[in-house]
Structure 1
Amino acid sequence: MSTPLSGTSAAPAHIPTATFELGSYQAAVDAQLQAFGTQNFTERFWQKDATLWTQDAQAQQSIRSFMGWLRVAEDLQQAVPDLEQFVAEVKAAGFSHVVVMGMGGSTMAPIVFRESAEQGPNGLNMLVLDTTDPGTIQEIEQAVPLAHTLFIVASKSGTTAEPLAFGDYFYARLKEIKGERAGENFIGITDPGTPFVATAEKLGYRRVFLNFPEVGGRFSALTYFGLVPAALYGLDVREILTRALHMMRACGANGPAENNPGEALGVALGVLAQAGHDKLTLLVPPSLSSLGLWMEQLVAESTGKEGLGILPIADEPLASADYGLDRVFVYVGYKGQSDAANEQLIKQLREKGHPIITILMNDVLDLGQEFFRWEVATAVASAVFGINPFDQPNVQAAKTATDKLMKAVEEHGELPQQPATLAENGLTFYASHAGAAGSAAELVKDFFGQAQAGDYLSVQAYLTETPTVTGAIQQIRAAVLNSRHIATTAGYGPRFLHSTGQYHKGGPNTGLFLQLTADNPNDLPLPGRSYTFGTLKNAQAQGDLEALHHNGRRTLRVHLGADAAQGLQTLLALVPTR
């Protein structure tokens, strides 16, 4: 049963509070909730009735086969003793560190747990590797005692190129140290029957956790992909799951529920997006800054297709000018915790009439509840749109282009070179809309001059992630936000290919894509391959650019040269500030 939404949701006390300030859109949201109630939406949702999303028979079968996430928290509750025993075994074996290696859904939840919660008293020091950037791989290798580090190779399909490459690299390093016992330092997480299962057995992996095939990657936070790392990090996974079950019941798992928190959020987001507020701008305190990474993949990859979608805007600098009218602001924080900067911003947004949704958790273990609330909300918003939330039809395009480029590398020893538009002051530019620009300043000005109301900027950094580089990218975002008044996003490649990459190609054609690349001075060989990590990263960047061009997107690639930080400063001087 669905009831009209107004003000603060009346969910049970143990459910994080949600408040909706939707102004003139309240009536439309209430009408959609009432319509869902008339259609018996909640009961059909839990019965996996695929007609809620599409009338296409093939798509309906796909939807039904990927809704195992609805009750996976119940299944994982039974696995908690085994997880606790495994952590004790690993500790007794002398391990002090764990490195989670994967892409997309296999690493997003671990990143959130690591960045949002303190390491538990019995936990391992945890790092996450989800980039083919050789500089980052070297940093992780130097940061851990290899012999006492447990490496997790996480891949749902068991064929994902990046985690398999990471596993090969570190297995070779451990073999130099431990010989045939190298496998003791590795575990896998994958679906049953994947090729990786046999590989892990052959290499002597300590353990392979077989996940749930009916759960897609971006809906897997409450599966082994999220909870094995959480347990090793020392978090109370039993309590995380218990709270997730509270949210499940509130969302109708055991029958009709008043004030269904997942449905309320999903309907609000869907109706607002249809009304033009399709930029879901996430505001969080510093301790929750990584939540946006997880939300980007879940929401963007699920909804960004068929020219539609909701684009999460995460970690955006605060604007000094008015925001556009394409926003809905969502604040996720903690009850009783002061957050002065966001509180002041929300006050200003409220005065200007922007739609605002506020969710207040009790503590960090409520993340289990929020993961589930947002999973339900994303599926519900997709039903409002009438699209399949569980496929990713445009993701393969970049992978196919990358594979083609890597075959060329194997045949000719190097990547095919793209013709440059111009080179100036150590920067090389590759533009999809070069026009008559005769200088770098004109080229950059013309690129950003294409921005219109409702557009967004996507900064795609195939660079080593450092505070200096991130700071410069944030400066670019701030300059564009305040001069062009459009939403801005930023992601490190190839990580974002497994999250917002679907939205970039399948969502509305409203993006301006600034791709940043640089030399790889400290490249690393990839065991068993004829190429390096740097070459693979470059191919992924070039492949994604080709996929964007194929979909008619507006792009500008800037190669920053040998010093990415210095190159960014040179580029920043060219970005228009008015």
Structure 2
Amino acid sequence: MSAPVEAPLTVSLVDPQLAEAASALVEKLVTDEVASKLARQDDTLWGPDAQDEASKRLSWVTLYESSKPLVERLTALRGDLHGEGVDRVVLAGMGGSSLAPEVICHTRSGSAVGGRHPITVLDTTDPGQVRDALAGDLSRTVLVVSSKSGGTVETDSQRRVFAEQFAANGIDAASRMVVVTDPGTKLGDQAAEQGYRATVEADPAVGGRYSALTAFGLVPSALAGVDVGGLLDEAAAAAPELQRDSADNPAIQLGSALAAAHNAGAEKVVLADSGSGLVGFGDWAEQLIAESTGKQGLGLLPVVVESPDAPGFADHGHDATTVTIGPAVGNAQIATEGSLGAQFLLWETAVALAGRLIGINPFDQPDVESAKQATRDLLDGDGTTGTDEAPVLVEGGIEVRGEWLRSPSTLVEALGQLIAEAPDGGYVAVQAYLDRLDDASAEVLRPEIAKNTGLQTTFGWGPRFLHSTGQYHKGGHQNGVFLQITGSVADDLAIPDQPFTFGELQHAQAAGDAQVISQHGRPVLRLHLADRAAGLVALTNAVAEVRR
């Protein structure tokens, strides 16, 4: 175990008006001794309606201690694998099972690709991206199968195809499978029955979005070579400060500022990195914030942007609060600085406190299941996955769908009708059910739409975002409009012993989510690209012409 890291942890409320608005909430949290009660895992902090759920979800506050026994075990497991020449880690996981390990490994390597702690994160159903993961050197590969419920359809599908390909290459699949799950799941039972290399049970009293310092965050990171003991030490060093009932407690300051902004109508939280070195931290915080707060028509919508100079941050309006991860620069209203372990614990604590102040239960996710059920219904039904519906328009190989559309004659007109549906203070959600490696150019749509429309704009890779902002889309403020993008599959991939392929699953997930969002009365513009590369170019060109 590394020596404790005494890294400073600071929250700066740069905007004087926001600091003033937050001050009354800070005083209330201090007077009510909320920080120390949370440290004692007091499940009454969010009211009687939330108490049952909270009683099963508060072990995250002491993970910096309770996870320490894992370090020695994981170090030994990594040593055994390396002794067999197995040093490539592929992580099959969604949401909280993948976001934290990705941030940990990329941060410790100092880069989002390659580096000293490489890991391949497979959080998709896109056939092309799954094939890319399978194309790596399987003789050197260990697959970490990570699912809290043990029944995540994406993760199970990935496990099935890797097991098949291990066997096809003469590799004992069971010896290359490491499972992370809660006690008593079907996945855990399966791992025991089939003799998987290892099963690590996570603390069941921690929700997925709070699981960065559980086995879900630590197992794949440790196998990739990260000093996870040092990560726990960073959190441990910050814990005493975050548990103090004091006005200078960083978590009290951050949680109060977020809640004060929300209650004043600035319900978007625009996150930009300003040189923190915490690679991809905003993507992890996105799930934490959206799933914890987006419910009952309330909540904070995280908007992760490219830099403090990006549209949505540099030109934010009254409906948004800007936060830098790192030093305060540009139009930052809040800045948070500290080590990765400390920032994990800071944001978890602050979001839990903000939930109390906003008046919601930060530990449930009542609207996540609806899109999953809609997907199951599509796959179990007549076999249609949404692209069978007749388009209202086809332009340049892009099929345009949306029953609410008013007879657009061009793609630009259809996009304009979508933007016109957004109310003042609303937002645009771009949902790309594509390959986030090969189709990465789709990410330019976020800043382009934000710049041209003045609306806060989010970007999510599907189905990854379903385990993140998907909760907010249905349960949060109902002022969003949705641009959903799917693409034709040139070379689909079968899922062993399943009646559907990866491509069919991906399109069913898109159609199912669109169906549920539409049922909430929000417009979804569905674009299907017959040719992904050409379609993205055409779509980017069309977006450039759209104005609000």
TM-score by length of 1: 0.88
Q: 2:160 aligns with which of 164, 168, 171?
A: 168
Cα offset for 1:83?
Answer: 1.8
Q: Check whether the contact 2:109–2:116 (CA below 8 A) recurs between aligned residues.
A: no
Counterparts of 1:100 and 1:240, CA distance in 2: 19
1:470 aligns with 2:465: no
Structure 1 counterpart of 2:373:
400
Offset, 1:257: 5.1
1:383 corresponds in structure 2 to 356
Q: CA deviation at 1:413?
A: 8.2
2:129 counterpart residue number: 136
2:259 to 261, 270, 278: 270
Distance 1:447 1:77 in 2: 50
Q: What SS does structure 2 have at the residue aligned with 1:461?
A: strand
TM-score normalised by length of structure 2: 0.93
Instruction: Indicate whether 1:116 and 2:107 are aligned.
Output: yes
Cα contact 1:482–1:577 (8 A) shared by 2? no
Aligned residue for 1:337?
Answer: none
Partner of 1:292: 282
Query: Match for 1:572 among 528, 540, 548?
Result: 540
**Residue number among 357, 362, 381 corresponding to 2:334 in the alignment:** 357
Give 1:568 deviation, angstroms.
Answer: 1.6
Counterpart mapping for 1:326-345 below 5 A: 326-333=319-326
Are the structure 2 counterparts of residues 432 and 451 from structure 1 closer, same or farther at C-alpha, using a change threshold of 3 Å?
Answer: same
Secondary structure, in 3 states, of the residue corresponding to 1:79?
A: helix
| Aligned residues of 2:431 and 2:482 also touching (Cα < 8 A) | yes
Q: How does 1:295-334 map to 2 (within 5 A)?
A: 295-316=285-306, 318-319=310-311, 322-333=315-326
Offset, 1:486: 1.0
> For 1:78-477, what aligned pairs fall within 5 Å after superposition?
78-118=69-109, 125-142=118-135, 144-178=136-170, 181-252=172-243, 256=245, 259-285=248-274, 287-316=277-306, 318-319=310-311, 322-333=315-326, 346-347=329-330, 349=331, 356-361=333-338, 366-408=339-381, 417-466=388-437, 469-474=439-444, 476-477=445-446
SS at match of 1:454: coil
Aligned-pair CA distance for 1:418: 2.4
1:444 alignment partner, SS class: helix
8 Å contact from structure 1 (residues 190, 197) kept in 2: yes
* Cα pair 1:150 1:186 within 8 Å, conserved: yes
Once the two structures are TM-superposed, the CA of residue 289 in structure 1 deviates from its matched residue by: 4.6
Q: For residues 174 and 119 of structure 1, what CA distance do their matches in structure 2 show?
A: 31
CA shift for structure 1 position 31: 0.9
- SS of the residue corresponding to residue 170 of structure 2 reads helix
Retained in 1: the 8 A contact 2:393–2:408? no
Identify if the C-alpha distance between structure 1 residues 93 and 160 changes in structure 2 by more than 3 Å, giving closer, same or farther: same
Structure 1: tracts of 5 or more residues without a match: 1-11, 335-342, 350-354
Residues 460 and 513, structure 1, Cα contact 8 Å, conserved in 2: yes
Deviation, 1:422, is 2.0
Distance in 2 separating the partners of 1:23 and 1:295: 24
Check whether the contact 2:290–2:301 (CA below 8 A) recurs between aligned residues: yes
Count of paired positions: 536
Describe the shift of the 1:41–1:89 C-alpha distance in structure 2 as closer, same or farther (beyond 3 A).
same
Return 5+ residue gaps in structure 2 as ranges: none
Partner of residue 514 from structure 1, selected from 459, 480, 483: 483
1:490 aligned residue (459, 464, 483)? 459
- For residues 335 and 454 of structure 2, the distance between their equivalents in structure 1, rounded to whole angstroms, comes to 23
CA deviations on 1:186-224 (whole Å, 9 max, x unpaired) are: 110000111111111222210000100000100000001
Letter in 1 for 2:234: R
Q: Which residue of 1 aligns with 2:25?
A: 32
**8 A contact 2:30–2:246 mirrored in 1:** no
Q: Decide whether the 8 Å contact of 2:375 with 2:512 is kept in 1.
A: yes
Tell me whether 1:62 sits opposite 2:33 in the alignment: no
Equivalent position amino acid for 1:247 in 2: A
Q: Is the 8 A contact 1:420 1:428 kept in 2?
A: yes
CA distance in 1, matches of 2:484, 2:133: 25
Moved more, 477-486 or 100-109: 477-486
The partner residue of 1:501 within 470, 474, 477 is 470
